[in-house]
Amino acid sequence: MFKISELTKKDIINLKDGAKLGPVKDAHFDPVEGRIKALVLEGPRKMFGLLSAGGDVVVSWDKIKVIGKDAVLVQID
């Protein structure tokens, strides 16, 4: 078991291309099932990190493959 705040400190890496996807910004929680349904990652930045290049990225829980000590590995297209 872990805290959501622990996920905000880990790199989120896409197994498809090895890219860092961005920090965890939020989580979608299902109170009926009592579990996390998805992680919301901060969208990519441009212009020295000041302006958003796109919207946030939502990664459903079934796309998360490994939660390691330093990183979370996900498989998304």
Domains of the chain, start order: 4-74 (2.30.30.240)
Tell me the H-state helices in 1-77.
4-7
- Predicted structure pTM score: 0.80
Which stretches does DSSP call E strand in the chain?
A: 11-14, 24-30, 35-41, 45-46, 51-52, 57-60, 64-67, 71-74
Instruction: Report the pLDDT value the prediction gives residue 2, as an integer from 0 to 100.
Output: 76
pLDDT tens, position by position, 16-73: 999 999 899 999 999 999 999 999 998 766 655 555 556 889 999 999 999 999 999 9
